[in-house]
Amino acid sequence: MMNKSSDAIIERFRSIAGNPHEYAKSLQRKGQLVAGYMCTHVPEEILYAAGMIPVRILTSHVSQAMTRSYMHETYCSFSHDCAYQGLAHHYDFLDLIVTSSSCIHMGEAFNVWVRFAGFQGKSFLIPYPHIIETKPAAAFMAESFGEFKPFLEKFVKKSITDGDLERAIKVYNHTRRLLRRLWEFLRRDHPPITGPDVATVTLASQVMDKQECNPLLDQLIQRLEAEPGKGPSGVRLMVSGGACDDLKIFELLEHLDYSASLIFIDSCTATRYFWFEVPEDRPDKLKAIAEGYISRIPCPAKDNVPGTGEKKRFRFIQQFIEEYKPDGVVFLYQRFCSPQPMDVVALKPILDKLGIPSTDFELDTTLPVTQFRTQMEAFLETIKGVVPLG
Amino acid sequence: MAYALKTWNDFKNYQNTCYRNYLYASEGLRVMGSTWSVLAPLKGLGDDVHLMGGEPHAASTAGTFPDESREDIVAAETAGLGFHSCSYLKLFTGEVVRDKIAITDGTIKDGYPKPDLIWTTHLCSQHSKWYQEVSRRLGGIPMYAIDMIGGGNAEKDPKIVNYLSDQIEEGIRWLERVTGREFSDELFIKAARNEIKVLVLWGNICALNRHAPAPLDERRLIALFPPAVVDRTTDETVQLYQGLLKEVKHMVETGQSVVPDQRYRIVYFGIAHTYGHPEMARILRDAGAEIVASVYTFGTCGNFRGIVDGKWSWDPLDPAWVDELDLSTRRKTITELVKIVLGWPTWQGVRSYWALESMARAMITEYKADGLLLAPSRSCETDFRNGYIAMQRIFKSEIPTIEYDSDQVDVRKMDLPGAQRKTELFVHLMEAHKRRSA
């Protein structure tokens, strides 16, 4: 068990992740401008430098029919749910909505907001490469960011200086370093924090003002460093896949009939959000931001090294496997997501070579708990060394 | 009386020859990839470059060998590809998995011919991932994917045009490295002019369907644009399309059509779904209704004026304009190619709802449509299925409109009886509208 103080910090993160709308509204009540963003390729640093707090649009996991009149059913449930947030007017209070050219599905969620949810006059789409590894990608991104910056300056009625950008870069890099340290606890055999709690904190950080987030993260890490590890961790499970902000699924992984612990999540709602840094103290800030975002763990929709067709994400995955030593990998992706399963088919032989079993599971708007539990328990049974609880 | 196209066999022969050359070439280079790529840079490597384009190959295989195609798709899924993934992709990859290939002349060849390189594009979220998978399965074929960031009037955005041009310049250097061949700007420029010319000629041929009766129907249009897709860089293709343009102009002048009974003119948005398309066409034809304009057959490999003063125009470009284009340097040639490719209507509608709606409105008006038929493909991301939902909201009060779901080549994903019922309803609706306005 964790001591009360780290529990209290985690609870703070949990309450924010559980109710991002209220949190964002509270920022606005304090006089902050709040910008929603739909894809983690949006350079939050530029928004932050403009004096806006970027808040990621997350979903509510409530089954709804509303979006089917706007989006085809063959778009993923995450994009439907994000579109729903706009149509249900959960985010009417936002000052701005921003996205970058992302996957087709999330691009459509953005379009729904712009066309049908009243955001036409307060939206911006940042043209962003569909393959981030092309040689000209960085220049193209810097040019796109260079169009976004004056738009923001006009919007907030103030100029964004290099100093503003540098400060924002440093604040965000600090968040990234702290989150990385938090995830590194999970490399231990007996970490002082659970994987689902780390996922919760990471998700909350995506909607938080980093001025509040960073000190909280700092405190949490300090306290966890002083705490003993927890009991037997069971089978170490790594999750790899697409956006998943339904934290219950991660809780469920640790509450099966067999002892298992979540030790890593490769997704844009978890480590892909922060596992990179933007170079600091460069003369050209926008180029530096572009360079940083290119160095990210690529989204499968954008990952194709020209010349070889290599998927750069696989290098990261192999690195994470080496460092976090999972006993099994769960491929978790949204139904109708096209790039994720295209990667899974190529990843499986790599895992087979490494002797790591894997299974895949498609997510829908609401979590099919029984099927997921049955599948995960069957998966755990196949992994050598599983000992039934009780 | 229905007109029989004189140039029909020439088109079929050209397509078959391209595929046969790819299958049986004993020398030269085999190149595969999306034919939505700019193809002329490949011809800078020499005249002995044989092309296999993913989409047209998958579509024509499905049309020629329905049973084989089903086997291919199932084989790809058994090998791990997702049920909801693009069915062109699965059909194509399924052939690699099954180590056999089928082409339009009726040949089924055992032993999949391995390409020397892959030259392709990326726009939707899985477009280039298709060839990553094929490359992986064939042991690692060198592959170059071009990020075709686009949508809307991207061809008029210098930032996007430069980004693409830079990638292609880099790609040409890669082609030299990977093949060990010296790149010929002379051959490249010649191929580029042919490529642009064919795209413009096809636009001119399509535009003749604005006449009544429309000289061509959707079935002919689908069959006549593959040469432009398979390999549009050769002198022979230019001659084919010049010949076709001349013939269709003559049809218009003499009031002839391949389907003379045209009581209702339909604008169609959707991929030519091989399965179910003949059934729908039959229902329409029995009622004297013909698809006279289709964004897919017109705009996948064809160019028009596009966005002019904020509005879409399906007016064709003057073929003579191509002859005047300044293609004196490699960079200038690349830039013109990029502009022409980004200008394809199908590209422009993929990520831009306003462009899609603008082109639909213009097509309905310019082609004097009696009905709008929408058939989004369930497994094609590029088909921009959401756009069709919004289009119903916009157009159903103006013109008879029906949507049914289709799939480009996967029979399992189409509710054929349901689609037939909707198509019958569509015909009744057009009849009712005509009676009302009479």
Contacts of B81 in chain A (CB under 8 A): 341-342, 345
Task: Show the tokens assigned to B132.
Answer: 């990553």
Contacts of A139 in chain B (CB under 8 A): 163, 166
Contacts of A111 in chain B (CB under 8 A): 353, 386
Q: B100 Cβ partners below 8 Å, 6+ apart?
A: B108, B109, B110, B111, B112
Q: Which of A:248-307 have CB within 8 Å of B? A: 300-301, 304, 306-307
pLDDT of res. A64 = 75
pLDDT of res. A4 = 57
The CATH code of the domain at B189-437 is 3.40.50.11900
Residue from the list A112, A137, A342 with its beta carbon closest to the beta carbon of B126: A342
The answer, for B160 touching chain A at a CB cutoff of 8 Å, is yes
Nearest to A385 by CA among A214, A252, A259: A259
* B402/B369 Cα distance (integer angstroms): 13
pLDDT of res. A232 = 66
Tabulate helix, strand, coil % of chain B (nearest 5).
55, 15, 30
Classify residue A279 by burial, with Cβ atoms within 10 Å: 0-12, 13-18, 19+: middle
Q: What is the DSSP string of A264-327?
A: EEESTTTHHHHS--PPSS-S-HHHHHHHHHHTSPPPGGG--BTBTTB-HHHHHHHHHHHHH--S
- Residue B110: strand pairing partners: B100
pLDDT of res. B64 = 93
Domains and CATH numbers, chain A: 26-161+233-390 (3.40.50.11900)
* Contact assignment for A306 to B131 by CB distance below 8 Å: no
State the sign of the Cα–Cα–Cα–Cα dihedral B352, A143, B34, B7: positive
In chain B, ranges of CATH 3.40.50.11890 domains? 8-184
Find the radius of gyration of the CA atoms of chain A: 20
Contacts of A301 in chain B (CB under 8 A): 125-126
Distance from CA of B81 to the nearest CA of A (A): 6
pLDDT of res. B123 = 83
Nearest to A106 by CA among A69, A144, A79: A79
pLDDT along chain B (438 residues), means of 10: 95 95 95 93 97 93 94 96 93 98 95 96 89 96 93 91 97 98 98 97 98 96 88 96 98 97 95 86 95 94 92 97 98 97 88 88 97 93 77 91 93 94 97 91
- Residue A98: strand pairing partners: A37, A124
* A375/A388 Cα distance (integer angstroms): 15
pLDDT of res. B275 = 83
Q: Which of B:75-94 have CB within 8 Å of A? A: 79-82, 84-86
Q: A247 Cβ partners below 8 Å, 6+ apart?
A: A17, A196, A199, A200, A203
On the CB side of B184, how many CA atoms lie within 13 Å of its CA? Answer: 10
The answer, for A364 touching chain B at a CB cutoff of 8 Å, is no
Contacts of A338 in chain B (CB under 8 A): 82, 84-86, 124-126, 129, 381
* ipTM passes above 0.90: yes
User: In a mutagenesis test of the B interface, which of A100, A299, A342 is the best target, namely the one with the most B β-carbons within 10 Å?
Assistant: A342
- Residue A384: strand pairing partners: none
Phi (first) and psi of residue A212, to 5 degrees = -90, -35
* A269/A172 Cα distance (integer angstroms): 16
pLDDT along chain A (390 residues), means of 10: 75 96 96 97 98 96 85 92 95 97 92 94 95 95 98 98 98 98 96 97 98 97 92 88 95 92 97 98 98 97 94 97 97 93 95 95 84 93 66
* Count of positions (residues) in chain A: 390
Nearest to B301 by CA among B356, B227, B242: B227
* A13/A227 Cα distance (integer angstroms): 19
Q: Name the residue type at position B62.
A: A
Residues B334-368 have pLDDT tens digits of: 999 999 999 999 888 877 888 889 999 999 999 99
Nearest to B193 by CA among B304, B314, B298, B328: B328
Q: Enter the DSSP assignment of B182.
A: P
pLDDT of res. A390 = 44
* B259/B265 Cα distance (integer angstroms): 12
Residue of chain B whose alpha carbon sits nearest to that of A71: B386
Q: Name the residue type at position B339.
A: K
* Contact assignment for A72 to B386 by CB distance below 8 Å: yes
Phi (first) and psi of residue A264, to 5 degrees = -165, 145
| Structural contact between residues A355 and A366, judged by C-beta atoms closer than 8 angstroms | no
* Count of positions (residues) in chain B: 438
Q: Enter the DSSP assignment of B328.
A: -
Q: Enter the DSSP assignment of B259.
A: S
Q: B310 Cβ partners below 8 Å, 6+ apart?
A: none
Contacts of B174 in chain A (CB under 8 A): 306-307
Q: A52 Cβ partners below 8 Å, 6+ apart?
A: A32, A33, A34, A35, A95, A96, A152, A156
In chain B, ranges of CATH 3.40.50.11900 domains? 189-437
User: In a mutagenesis test of the B interface, which of A41, A70, A72, A73 is the best target, namely the one with the most B β-carbons within 10 Å?
Assistant: A72
User: In a mutagenesis test of the B interface, which of A104, A141, A359 is the best target, namely the one with the most B β-carbons within 10 Å?
Assistant: A104
The answer, for A127 touching chain B at a CB cutoff of 8 Å, is yes
Quickly count: other Cβ atoms within 10 Å of residue A254's Cβ: 17
Quickly count: other Cβ atoms within 10 Å of residue A66's Cβ: 12
Contacts of B353 in chain A (CB under 8 A): 111, 115
Q: Which CATH class is domain B8-184?
A: alpha beta
Distance from CA of A195 to the nearest CA of B (A): 28
Contacts of B80 in chain A (CB under 8 A): 341, 344-345, 348
State the sign of the Cα–Cα–Cα–Cα dihedral A364, A370, A376, A378: negative
* A377/A259 Cα distance (integer angstroms): 10
Residue from the list B163, B350, B389 with its beta carbon closest to the beta carbon of A140: B163
Q: Enter the DSSP assignment of B26.
A: S
